């Protein structure tokens, strides 16, 4: 089923309501990706991102979409090229995450109805992305901009704009961001990195899930 035939807005809302954390699997290989996904899903994660600078990312994403339950959102990160957007649509990816704001690329992403988490650094980029109807703003790098930046930008963005913090997030430093009502996080090397044992990945995923839910009073 192609994205045009899915209600991806509803799927994203449902996935986020369970746990608004995106697992960033930078460097994952196709031969391990399904086992890693099982560990993350068992740990509570609902959104999986394979960055395009990983080994054979399209193959990994295709395997994930066939392997994972339908309510798990699967897609690509570090998407930089318009050509890759069509390729991702062809393999039934649902999620596209970018590190930056590129208007022409975002137009192509929106054409295919992806869940779009678009990297922004400045207020101008944030407002441009919102005007194009993206699913969420990805404030990147969050550890450089800080929680107060998110607080300030959320104060002027349209009410209801989804804002995710990505960059340098680990289980110990989420509170300043949840205190300013960040809507979710992207989690990279503190969760998955090449060579990390699957049991450890599951353990860390559970720690992230528990910490986030505790901070939100769940």
Q: Could you give the residue numbers annotated as active site?
A: 49, 138
The backbone torsions φ and ψ at residue 7, rounded to the nearest 5 degrees and listed phi first, read: -95, 80
DSSP H stretches of helix in 75-174: 82-90, 103-111, 123-131, 142-145, 147-156
Token look-up 């930078």 returns 26
Do 37 and 64 contact (CB within 8 A), yes or no? Answer: yes
* Cα distances (angstroms) measured from residue 105 to each of 116, 150, 158: 11, 24, 23
Tell me how far apart the alpha carbons of residues 196 and 71 are, in angstroms, rounded to a whole number. Answer: 26
Could you tell me what percentage of the chain is helix, strand and coil, using 3-state DSSP and rounding each to the nearest 5?
45, 15, 35
Tokens of 173: 């430093």
Tokens of 206: 């559970």
Tell me how far apart the alpha carbons of residues 13 and 10 are, in angstroms, rounded to a whole number. Answer: 5
Question: What distance, in Å, lies between the first and last C-alpha atoms of the chain?
Answer: 34
The backbone torsions φ and ψ at residue 61, rounded to the nearest 5 degrees and listed phi first, read: -65, -40
């Amino acid at each position: 089923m192609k994205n045009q035939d899915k209600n991806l807005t509803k799927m994203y809302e449902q996935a986020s309501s369970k746990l608004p954390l995106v697992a960033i699997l930078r460097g994952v290989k196709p031969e391990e990706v399904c086992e890693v996904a099982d560990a993350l899903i068992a740990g509570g994660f609902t959104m999986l991102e394979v960055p395009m600078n990983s080994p054979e990312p399209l193959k990994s994403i295709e395997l994930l979409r066939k392997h994972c339950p339908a309510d798990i959102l699967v897609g690509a990160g570090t998407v930089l090229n318009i050509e890759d957007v069509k390729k991702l649509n062809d393999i039934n990816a649902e999620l596209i995450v970018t590190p930056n704001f590129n208007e022409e690329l975002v137009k192509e992403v929106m054409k295919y109805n992806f869940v779009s988490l678009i990297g922004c650094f400045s207020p101008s980029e944030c407002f441009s992305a919102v005007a194009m109807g993206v699913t969420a703003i990805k404030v990147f790098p969050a550890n450089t901009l800080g929680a107060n930046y998110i607080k300030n930008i959320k104060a002027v963005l349209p009410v209801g704009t989804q804002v995710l913090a990505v960059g340098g997030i680990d289980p110990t430093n989420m509170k300043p961001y949840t205190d300013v009502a960040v809507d979710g996080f992207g989690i990279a090397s503190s969760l998955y990195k090449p060579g990390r044992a699957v049991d450890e990945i599951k353990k860390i995923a559970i720690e992230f899930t528990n910490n986030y839910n505790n901070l939100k009073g769940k």
